[in-house]
Amino acid sequence: MPDVREGLAEEYDALRPRMVRVAYAILGSRADAEDVVADCWSRLVAADAREPVRDLTGWLTVAVARAATDVLRSARVRREEYVGPWLPEPYVDPVDPAPDPADRVTLDETVSYALAVVLESLSPAERTAWVLHDVFGMGFPEVAAVVGRTPVAVRRLASRARAHLAAQPTRFEVDRSEHEAVLGRFLAAAAGGDLDALVATLDPDVVVTSDGGGAVSAARRPVHGAERSARFLAGLVAKYVGDVEIELLGVNGAPAIGLREDGVLTSLIVLTVAGDRATRVDILRAPAKLAAAVRTAGQ
Protein backbone atom coordinates (compact mmCIF):
# COMPACT_ATOMS: atom_id res chain seq x y z
CA MET A 1 0.00 0.00 0.00
CA PRO A 2 2.78 2.56 0.76
CA ASP A 3 4.27 1.95 -2.71
CA VAL A 4 0.90 2.46 -4.38
CA ARG A 5 0.29 5.67 -2.41
CA GLU A 6 3.75 6.99 -3.29
CA GLY A 7 3.12 6.32 -6.98
CA LEU A 8 -0.24 8.03 -6.75
CA ALA A 9 1.35 11.07 -5.13
CA GLU A 10 3.90 11.33 -7.94
CA GLU A 11 1.17 11.20 -10.60
CA TYR A 12 -0.90 13.76 -8.68
CA ASP A 13 2.07 16.13 -8.39
CA ALA A 14 2.69 15.87 -12.14
CA LEU A 15 -0.95 16.71 -12.91
CA ARG A 16 -1.32 19.36 -10.22
CA PRO A 17 -0.30 22.42 -12.35
CA ARG A 18 -2.90 21.53 -14.97
CA MET A 19 -5.56 20.98 -12.33
CA VAL A 20 -4.80 24.39 -10.81
CA ARG A 21 -5.31 25.92 -14.27
CA VAL A 22 -8.68 24.14 -14.55
CA ALA A 23 -9.80 25.43 -11.16
CA TYR A 24 -8.48 28.95 -11.81
CA ALA A 25 -10.29 29.23 -15.15
CA ILE A 26 -13.54 28.40 -13.34
CA LEU A 27 -12.92 30.51 -10.22
CA GLY A 28 -10.82 33.52 -11.25
CA SER A 29 -8.79 33.09 -8.05
CA ARG A 30 -5.50 31.25 -7.97
CA ALA A 31 -5.52 31.00 -4.17
CA ASP A 32 -8.96 29.36 -4.22
CA ALA A 33 -7.82 27.16 -7.10
CA GLU A 34 -4.82 25.94 -5.12
CA ASP A 35 -7.10 25.16 -2.15
CA VAL A 36 -9.56 23.23 -4.33
CA VAL A 37 -6.82 21.09 -5.87
CA ALA A 38 -5.27 20.39 -2.46
CA ASP A 39 -8.65 19.29 -1.07
CA CYS A 40 -9.08 16.87 -3.97
CA TRP A 41 -5.93 14.98 -2.95
CA SER A 42 -7.61 13.39 0.09
CA ARG A 43 -10.63 12.50 -2.03
CA LEU A 44 -8.35 10.88 -4.58
CA VAL A 45 -6.58 8.80 -1.92
CA ALA A 46 -9.92 7.59 -0.55
CA ALA A 47 -11.30 6.77 -4.00
CA ASP A 48 -8.13 4.94 -5.02
CA ALA A 49 -8.23 2.90 -1.80
CA ARG A 50 -11.73 1.69 -2.67
CA GLU A 51 -10.85 0.92 -6.28
CA PRO A 52 -7.68 1.89 -8.18
CA VAL A 53 -8.23 5.00 -10.29
CA ARG A 54 -7.28 4.08 -13.85
CA ASP A 55 -7.78 7.42 -15.58
CA LEU A 56 -6.20 9.80 -13.10
CA THR A 57 -6.38 12.84 -15.41
CA GLY A 58 -10.08 12.33 -16.07
CA TRP A 59 -10.91 11.61 -12.43
CA LEU A 60 -9.05 14.65 -11.14
CA THR A 61 -10.42 16.99 -13.80
CA VAL A 62 -14.01 16.05 -12.93
CA ALA A 63 -13.38 16.22 -9.17
CA VAL A 64 -11.56 19.56 -9.35
CA ALA A 65 -14.13 21.09 -11.71
CA ARG A 66 -17.04 20.00 -9.49
CA ALA A 67 -15.40 21.42 -6.38
CA ALA A 68 -14.45 24.64 -8.15
CA THR A 69 -18.00 25.12 -9.45
CA ASP A 70 -19.39 24.68 -5.93
CA VAL A 71 -16.92 27.27 -4.60
CA LEU A 72 -17.82 29.65 -7.45
CA ARG A 73 -21.53 29.50 -6.61
CA SER A 74 -20.87 30.50 -3.00
CA ALA A 75 -18.30 33.11 -4.05
CA ARG A 76 -20.88 34.85 -6.25
CA VAL A 77 -22.83 35.83 -3.16
CA ARG A 78 -19.74 37.36 -1.54
CA ARG A 79 -18.84 39.25 -4.70
CA GLU A 80 -22.27 40.91 -4.81
CA GLU A 81 -21.37 42.59 -1.50
CA TYR A 82 -17.88 43.61 -2.62
CA VAL A 83 -16.89 47.28 -2.25
CA GLY A 84 -16.25 48.78 -5.69
CA PRO A 85 -15.51 46.82 -8.89
CA TRP A 86 -14.44 43.20 -8.44
CA LEU A 87 -11.50 42.01 -10.56
CA PRO A 88 -10.24 38.43 -10.75
CA GLU A 89 -7.20 37.51 -8.74
CA PRO A 90 -4.25 37.45 -11.18
CA TYR A 91 -2.30 34.34 -12.09
CA VAL A 92 1.17 35.76 -11.46
CA ASP A 93 4.43 34.19 -12.61
CA PRO A 94 7.90 35.58 -13.40
CA VAL A 95 8.27 37.02 -16.90
CA ASP A 96 10.14 34.67 -19.22
CA PRO A 97 12.16 36.83 -21.66
CA ALA A 98 12.39 33.97 -24.17
CA PRO A 99 9.48 31.56 -23.72
CA ASP A 100 10.03 28.00 -24.90
CA PRO A 101 7.70 27.02 -27.79
CA ALA A 102 7.24 23.73 -25.93
CA ASP A 103 5.29 25.71 -23.30
CA ARG A 104 2.59 26.56 -25.86
CA VAL A 105 0.22 23.91 -24.48
CA THR A 106 0.43 25.44 -21.02
CA LEU A 107 -0.21 28.92 -22.42
CA ASP A 108 -3.19 27.66 -24.41
CA GLU A 109 -4.72 26.43 -21.15
CA THR A 110 -4.11 29.72 -19.33
CA VAL A 111 -6.99 32.17 -19.73
CA SER A 112 -5.88 35.74 -20.36
CA TYR A 113 -6.72 38.30 -17.71
CA ALA A 114 -9.18 40.03 -20.04
CA LEU A 115 -10.96 36.72 -20.56
CA ALA A 116 -11.00 36.05 -16.81
CA VAL A 117 -12.74 39.43 -16.36
CA VAL A 118 -15.43 38.66 -18.96
CA LEU A 119 -15.99 35.12 -17.64
CA GLU A 120 -17.34 36.77 -14.48
CA SER A 121 -20.46 37.74 -16.43
CA LEU A 122 -21.37 34.09 -17.12
CA SER A 123 -23.40 31.89 -14.81
CA PRO A 124 -21.38 29.24 -12.93
CA ALA A 125 -22.81 26.49 -15.13
CA GLU A 126 -22.08 28.39 -18.36
CA ARG A 127 -18.58 29.23 -17.23
CA THR A 128 -17.77 25.66 -16.23
CA ALA A 129 -19.22 24.18 -19.41
CA TRP A 130 -17.31 26.57 -21.65
CA VAL A 131 -14.01 26.27 -19.75
CA LEU A 132 -14.03 22.48 -19.67
CA HIS A 133 -15.14 22.01 -23.26
CA ASP A 134 -13.56 24.91 -25.15
CA VAL A 135 -10.35 25.37 -23.15
CA PHE A 136 -9.59 21.91 -21.81
CA GLY A 137 -11.23 19.80 -24.52
CA MET A 138 -13.55 17.69 -22.39
CA GLY A 139 -16.47 15.98 -24.11
CA PHE A 140 -20.00 17.07 -23.28
CA PRO A 141 -20.88 13.79 -21.48
CA GLU A 142 -17.94 14.35 -19.10
CA VAL A 143 -18.87 18.01 -18.62
CA ALA A 144 -22.45 16.96 -17.89
CA ALA A 145 -21.19 14.84 -15.00
CA VAL A 146 -19.55 17.95 -13.52
CA VAL A 147 -22.44 20.41 -13.75
CA GLY A 148 -25.26 17.93 -13.17
CA ARG A 149 -27.04 18.52 -16.50
CA THR A 150 -27.65 16.39 -19.57
CA PRO A 151 -25.08 16.46 -22.39
CA VAL A 152 -27.62 18.31 -24.56
CA ALA A 153 -28.15 20.94 -21.86
CA VAL A 154 -24.41 21.32 -21.39
CA ARG A 155 -23.94 21.82 -25.12
CA ARG A 156 -26.48 24.66 -24.93
CA LEU A 157 -24.67 26.18 -21.92
CA ALA A 158 -21.36 26.18 -23.78
CA SER A 159 -23.02 27.61 -26.88
CA ARG A 160 -24.57 30.49 -24.91
CA ALA A 161 -21.22 31.20 -23.25
CA ARG A 162 -19.47 31.13 -26.62
CA ALA A 163 -21.98 33.57 -28.11
CA HIS A 164 -21.61 35.91 -25.15
CA LEU A 165 -17.82 35.92 -25.43
CA ALA A 166 -17.96 36.43 -29.20
CA ALA A 167 -20.15 39.51 -28.71
CA GLN A 168 -17.54 41.19 -26.51
CA PRO A 169 -15.40 43.94 -28.07
CA THR A 170 -12.42 42.70 -26.05
CA ARG A 171 -9.79 40.61 -27.81
CA PHE A 172 -8.72 37.71 -25.62
CA GLU A 173 -5.73 36.30 -27.50
CA VAL A 174 -2.35 37.58 -26.37
CA ASP A 175 0.27 38.52 -28.99
CA ARG A 176 3.41 38.84 -26.90
CA SER A 177 5.40 41.24 -29.10
CA GLU A 178 2.35 43.44 -29.69
CA HIS A 179 1.54 43.47 -25.99
CA GLU A 180 5.10 44.31 -24.94
CA ALA A 181 5.31 47.21 -27.41
CA VAL A 182 2.12 48.84 -26.12
CA LEU A 183 3.09 48.17 -22.51
CA GLY A 184 6.46 49.84 -23.04
CA ARG A 185 4.94 52.96 -24.62
CA PHE A 186 2.26 53.10 -21.92
CA LEU A 187 4.80 52.91 -19.11
CA ALA A 188 7.12 55.50 -20.65
CA ALA A 189 4.27 57.95 -21.22
CA ALA A 190 2.74 57.45 -17.77
CA ALA A 191 6.06 57.68 -15.90
CA GLY A 192 7.13 60.71 -17.96
CA GLY A 193 3.85 62.54 -17.45
CA ASP A 194 3.33 62.85 -21.23
CA LEU A 195 -0.47 63.05 -21.44
CA ASP A 196 -0.65 63.16 -25.25
CA ALA A 197 1.61 60.14 -25.59
CA LEU A 198 -0.46 58.31 -22.97
CA VAL A 199 -3.70 59.05 -24.84
CA ALA A 200 -2.04 57.63 -27.97
CA THR A 201 -1.54 54.28 -26.24
CA LEU A 202 -5.24 54.01 -25.34
CA ASP A 203 -8.17 52.94 -27.48
CA PRO A 204 -10.84 55.69 -27.77
CA ASP A 205 -13.27 53.40 -25.93
CA VAL A 206 -10.79 52.18 -23.31
CA VAL A 207 -12.11 51.26 -19.85
CA VAL A 208 -10.00 51.63 -16.70
CA THR A 209 -11.14 49.58 -13.71
CA SER A 210 -9.65 49.76 -10.21
CA ASP A 211 -10.12 47.14 -7.49
CA GLY A 212 -9.15 48.24 -3.98
CA GLY A 213 -11.47 45.86 -2.18
CA GLY A 214 -12.58 48.66 0.12
CA ALA A 215 -9.22 48.42 1.91
CA VAL A 216 -7.18 50.97 -0.06
CA SER A 217 -8.02 53.95 -2.26
CA ALA A 218 -9.36 53.06 -5.70
CA ALA A 219 -11.94 54.46 -8.13
CA ARG A 220 -15.38 53.13 -7.20
CA ARG A 221 -16.53 53.21 -10.83
CA PRO A 222 -14.76 52.38 -14.11
CA VAL A 223 -13.34 55.31 -16.10
CA HIS A 224 -14.30 55.40 -19.79
CA GLY A 225 -12.63 57.00 -22.82
CA ALA A 226 -9.02 57.74 -23.72
CA GLU A 227 -8.86 61.37 -22.56
CA ARG A 228 -10.47 60.81 -19.15
CA SER A 229 -8.58 57.57 -18.63
CA ALA A 230 -5.24 59.19 -19.49
CA ARG A 231 -5.81 61.99 -16.99
CA PHE A 232 -6.83 59.50 -14.33
CA LEU A 233 -3.80 57.28 -14.98
CA ALA A 234 -1.37 60.19 -15.14
CA GLY A 235 -2.64 61.48 -11.81
CA LEU A 236 -2.37 58.02 -10.29
CA VAL A 237 1.20 57.46 -11.49
CA ALA A 238 2.27 60.97 -10.44
CA LYS A 239 1.53 60.05 -6.83
CA TYR A 240 4.05 57.23 -6.95
CA VAL A 241 6.91 58.44 -9.17
CA GLY A 242 10.13 58.25 -7.18
CA ASP A 243 8.50 56.38 -4.29
CA VAL A 244 7.93 52.98 -5.87
CA GLU A 245 9.87 50.24 -7.56
CA ILE A 246 8.47 49.31 -10.97
CA GLU A 247 8.82 45.75 -12.24
CA LEU A 248 7.45 43.54 -14.99
CA LEU A 249 5.42 40.51 -13.89
CA GLY A 250 3.77 37.77 -15.89
CA VAL A 251 0.00 37.89 -15.43
CA ASN A 252 -2.08 35.16 -17.06
CA GLY A 253 0.54 34.59 -19.74
CA ALA A 254 1.30 38.25 -20.58
CA PRO A 255 3.59 40.95 -19.13
CA ALA A 256 2.06 43.44 -16.68
CA ILE A 257 3.33 46.30 -14.50
CA GLY A 258 3.90 45.76 -10.80
CA LEU A 259 4.44 48.62 -8.32
CA ARG A 260 6.24 47.90 -5.05
CA GLU A 261 6.42 50.15 -2.00
CA ASP A 262 9.09 49.19 0.53
CA GLY A 263 9.38 45.83 -1.20
CA VAL A 264 5.65 45.05 -1.00
CA LEU A 265 3.57 44.68 -4.18
CA THR A 266 0.83 47.34 -3.81
CA SER A 267 -0.50 47.69 -7.35
CA LEU A 268 -0.70 45.58 -10.47
CA ILE A 269 -1.55 47.23 -13.79
CA VAL A 270 -2.76 44.85 -16.50
CA LEU A 271 -3.37 45.97 -20.09
CA THR A 272 -5.61 44.31 -22.61
CA VAL A 273 -4.16 45.08 -26.04
CA ALA A 274 -5.63 45.06 -29.54
CA GLY A 275 -3.42 46.31 -32.37
CA ASP A 276 -1.27 49.16 -31.08
CA ARG A 277 -3.52 50.32 -28.23
CA ALA A 278 -4.85 49.22 -24.87
CA THR A 279 -8.60 48.52 -24.81
CA ARG A 280 -8.70 47.81 -21.06
CA VAL A 281 -6.54 48.87 -18.13
CA ASP A 282 -7.19 46.90 -14.96
CA ILE A 283 -5.58 48.14 -11.75
CA LEU A 284 -5.56 45.63 -8.93
CA ARG A 285 -4.82 47.20 -5.52
CA ALA A 286 -6.78 44.97 -3.12
CA PRO A 287 -4.11 43.88 -0.61
CA ALA A 288 -5.62 40.44 0.00
CA LYS A 289 -5.64 39.58 -3.70
CA LEU A 290 -2.12 40.85 -4.27
CA ALA A 291 -0.80 38.96 -1.25
CA ALA A 292 -2.47 35.77 -2.44
CA ALA A 293 -1.07 36.24 -5.94
CA VAL A 294 2.47 36.72 -4.65
CA ARG A 295 2.14 33.74 -2.30
CA THR A 296 0.91 31.32 -4.97
CA ALA A 297 3.40 32.61 -7.53
CA GLY A 298 6.19 31.47 -5.22
CA GLN A 299 4.94 27.89 -5.04
CATH number at residue 250: 3.10.450.50
In sequence order, the 6+-apart residues with CB closer than 8 A to the CB of 104 are none
The answer to whether residues 77 and 180 belong to one domain is: no
pLDDT for residue 206 is more than 50: yes
> Lowest mean pLDDT: which of 41-55, 107-121, 155-169, 211-225?
107-121
> Which comes out higher in pLDDT, residue 153 or 82?
153
Domain of 41 in residue numbering reads as: 1-81
pLDDT reported for residue 81 = 74
DSSP string, 138-199: --HHHHHHHHTS-HHHHHHHHHHHHHHHHT-S------HHHHHHHHHHHHHHHHHT-HHHHH
For residue 253, name the pLDDT band (cuts at 50, 70, 90): confident
In a domain, 46, yes or no: yes
Residue 145 inside a domain? The answer is no
> Which of 170 and 249 is assigned the larger pLDDT?
249
pLDDT, residue 105, reads 43
Is position 66 within any domain? Answer: yes
Q: Are residues 180 and 73 in the same domain?
A: no
Mean pLDDT of 53-60: 93
Has residue 237 been placed in a domain?
A: yes
Residue 58 lies in a domain: yes
pLDDT given for residue 244 in this prediction: 83
248 CB-near residues (< 8 Å, 6+ apart): 95, 255, 256, 257, 258
Share of the chain above pLDDT 70, in %: 89
Write b or e for each residue in 33-58: b if 16 or more Cβ atoms lie within 10 A of its Cβ, otherwise e. bbbbbeebbeebeeebeeeebeebee
Residue 86 has pLDDT above 60, yes or no: yes
pLDDT of residue 106: 47
Question: What average pLDDT does the structure give for the chain?
Answer: 87
Does 211 fall in a domain?
yes
User: Binning pLDDT at 50, 70 and 90, where does residue 43 land?
Assistant: very high
pLDDT exceeds cutoff 80 at 135: yes
| pLDDT > 60? residue 24 | yes
Region of 118 please: left (phi>0), alpha (psi -120 to 50) or beta.
Answer: alpha
How many structural domains is the chain composed of? Answer: 2
pLDDT the model gives residue 150: 96
Check pLDDT > 90 for residue 208: yes
Domain finish residue from 40, 64, 81: 81
- CATH number, domain of 59, equals 1.10.1740
* pLDDT value at residue 169: 73
Q: How confident is the model at residue 102 (pLDDT cuts 50, 70, 90)?
A: very low
| Confidence band of 296 (pLDDT split at 50, 70, 90) | low
Specify the pLDDT at position 94: 62
Domain boundary residue among 42, 59, 81?
A: 81
Flag whether 224 is in a domain: yes
**Is 258 a domain residue?**
yes
DSSP state of 97: S
Predicted confidence at residue 107, as pLDDT, reads 46
Final residue before a domain boundary, out of 28, 57, 81: 81
